[in-house]
Amino acid sequence: LDEEVAQLLIDIRRIGTEGEPNVLFGDLFDDDKVSNYYEALVGTLKAAKKRKLIVFEGQLLLKGVSDKVQISI
């Protein structure tokens, strides 16, 4: 899980706007590299939030409903 959390931070920076360490959940979820890498993206996001490495509103992100939720480092 530590490796996935570290990769998550890299992916947020890669997908987000340059110079801004944040991304919308829908953009992250729909990214091909992300969908192929993570077994449970939502679980990895939850673990990273619990470790205070990322911030987002709410407890659980769901595809469709949460697409516009911003995830920030």
Q: What does the pLDDT look like over 45-56, one tens digit per residue? A: 999 999 999 999
The total domain count for the chain is 1
Q: Which two tokens stand for residue 35?
A: 């969908």
Tell me what pLDDT residue 19 has: 86
Q: What CATH code is carried by the domain that includes residue 58?
A: 1.10.10.1540
Tell me what pLDDT residue 18 has: 86
Domain that holds residue 48: 2-72
pLDDT digits over 10-61, tens only? 999 999 988 889 999 999 999 999 999 999 999 999 999 999 999 999 988 9
Determine the distance from the C-alpha atom of residue 2 to the mean position of all C-alpha atoms in its chain, rounded to a whole number. 14
How many Å apart are CA 11 and CA 14, to the nearest integer? 5
